[in-house]
Chains A and B, each alone.
Chain A
């Protein structure tokens, strides 16, 4: 369990307009763990995620599942790293749910029967098997988010990378999605502002600001550090505050 599935060394990246997005990032992710990436808007969270499957290519060294990330290995890495984008309408670009989930497996060169089996299995995992023939445009927002996850699960990834998985979801669908993520027993890397979710499912947390890693450690330790959180435009989740404050329980606040 202690094997590093993602190893990033001295990664730096600047956007074409010269804006520095990442500076000397070093990060290791262990197999099976759930890593939360938190930080203010524009800190570089999404940029970092886009490096994990080689969409962006900064200076530095990245190894995913013991494969060095380079042009030759790009395809192998992309089938192992499932990337779920924030806006499900960007993720679901095919007309039907089936075709969307089949897109990845088909690009992996599976046979038709294998593709069908992979789609079925992915839909079972997100508990939406009866939506196979539906049209993506007709899905509700919560359903779109689930199907977006299914579109990468069908490729049988070993690492799941999610950008803001709970944004814009109502509490019930947010909870459903968090439970779904808990059930998926693979390595997960999640960039989010949803600190309660981080507390709920992430064992490890990385705090990023201005493109550098500020802090890294156990979820509860970083999230409970008031000075650290507030100096980087974040806050200590209310659930931790309430747990610490006995006066709150007596209604005296």
Chain B
């Protein structure tokens, strides 16, 4: 259970109340809204919150700081200690030598042990900080943009390990990530932070949809991977009665439920089906809503009981005479779909 109510001092003067199930919680919000400050205060760093309750009990930040680990954007390490000394000292304090060995292996930092922090790359520094944070056996792990220095390959390798480790240690995670894909991959729940507090806290799909108005609109689709039929880098995913084609280098080992992310700007609309095009995905759908935005028209469609969003220009809307209730074909490339989970 992640349950806290925190009030931050001026100039943010923010009150955030979060109540969510155990597991990974994604924290969304525009830049500057106070996500990092919120995490810092939760970790017992400055600025100290003016009021903090955890599970309805008033608590001091120092007390909370003992059970909370933070991995910041540029993780703080002791510059005159080697990585090995960091690990040794924290492990000794926590009496967790066995866990230290496990983390060194799991996060692949054995080769870095003799280096000083300033000799580490951004990604290595984060891996070390993650290991140290987990070594403290926190009840709550706060991750502030921990993956921004990692390339896609490293992410793919890191994510499952990280999920397994947090599950094994029984710690909850709050993740702030710039890339919505990371949140959609790792989290089951999201909270949306706005200047006057938490505007939403709940399930991932509804949260992402609600957040779309603020960030780049996208849809998260649920399907079932048909791994045994994968061929030539294309993975078929059962989507209701239909099949979506996903271009991916990583094919789940067995048939598994997967999440797919589709940006609204990558979806085109056609009033009739198209023949002779390279687009792998053509889905019939019914328009349920049209919203005019500053940079186009957001078209919400329903297909196989799931909502898919497309964004077109005002001009296209007029040309195709789009209106609610109309049936259209959604067109997008296999590479427009990114696989979020179950790889």
**Is this pair of chains taken from one and the same complex?**
no
- Chain B positions near chain A (C-beta within 8 angstroms): none
